[in-house]
């Protein structure tokens, strides 16, 4: 891997690591704000998944970008991740909104990981990024199904 590739990959992995941190924190805060036990468990499980994925990303970053130091600038993150970073649930925030934000985080993670997989020449990192994109897609689909369930219940109740 050339120095230029290592610098580019470092920036990509820095962003993914940061977005995983933000998503995990969002899921932990959401779990703490939810009233139903199953909802809290679901969000805690998602938080743990994000933490586990972050660890693997950090391992790849250590192995592949050892010769590249961290940037002085904070890593770029998506607008959704920026919005979720300091999120706290207000009384007006419904469960559907919490799930909708989680789905958007998963979708942005899926898109970026898929794109990032094309940027690395390291086979194991590329495969992991593709798996990460797939897992994010599965999570997004699960969250979208929950949104549809909530919306159908609201329609029936109305």
- pLDDT digits 0-9 by tens, 8-58: 888 899 999 999 999 999 999 999 888 889 999 999 999 999 999 999 999
Torsion of the alpha carbons at 48, 76, 9 and 61, rounded to the nearest 10: -40
- CA 11 – CA 7 distance, rounded (Å): 6
Instruction: Check whether 145 has a pLDDT greater than 70.
Output: yes
- CA 19 – CA 82 distance, rounded (Å): 9
Enumerate the domain spans of the chain.
3-157
Percent of the chain with pLDDT over 90: 55
Mean pLDDT, rounded, for 73-79: 87
Mean pLDDT, rounded, for 50-78: 87
Query: How is domain 3-157 classified at the CATH fold level?
Result: Ferritin (1.20.1260)
Instruction: Check whether 91 has a pLDDT greater than 80.
Output: no
Q: Closest Cα to residue 9, out of 91, 84, 75?
A: 75
Query: How many DSSP H helices and E strands does the chain contain?
Result: 5, 0
Q: Residue 158 has what pLDDT?
A: 67
Q: Residue 153 has what pLDDT?
A: 86
* Mean residue pLDDT across the chain: 89
Q: Residue 132 has what pLDDT?
A: 94
């Amino acid at each position: 891997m050339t120095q230029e590739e290592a610098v580019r990959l470092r920036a990509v992995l820095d962003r993914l690591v940061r977005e995983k941190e933000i998503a995990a924190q969002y899921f932990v805060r959401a779990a703490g704000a939810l009233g139903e036990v199953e909802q809290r468990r679901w969000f805690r499980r998602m938080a743990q998944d994000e933490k586990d994925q972050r660890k693997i990303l950090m391992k790849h970053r250590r192995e592949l970008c050892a010769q590249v130091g961290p940037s002085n600038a904070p890593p770029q993150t998506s607008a959704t991740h920026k919005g979720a970073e300091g999120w706290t649930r207000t009384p007006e925030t419904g469960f559907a909104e919490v799930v909708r934000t989680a789905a958007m985080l998963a979708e942005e993670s899926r898109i970026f990981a898929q794109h990032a997989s094309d940027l690395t020449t390291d086979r194991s990192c590329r495969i992991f990024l593709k798996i990460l994109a797939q897992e994010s897609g599965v999570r997004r689909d699960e969250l979208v199904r929950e949104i549809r369930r909530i919306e159908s219940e609201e329609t029936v109740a109305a």
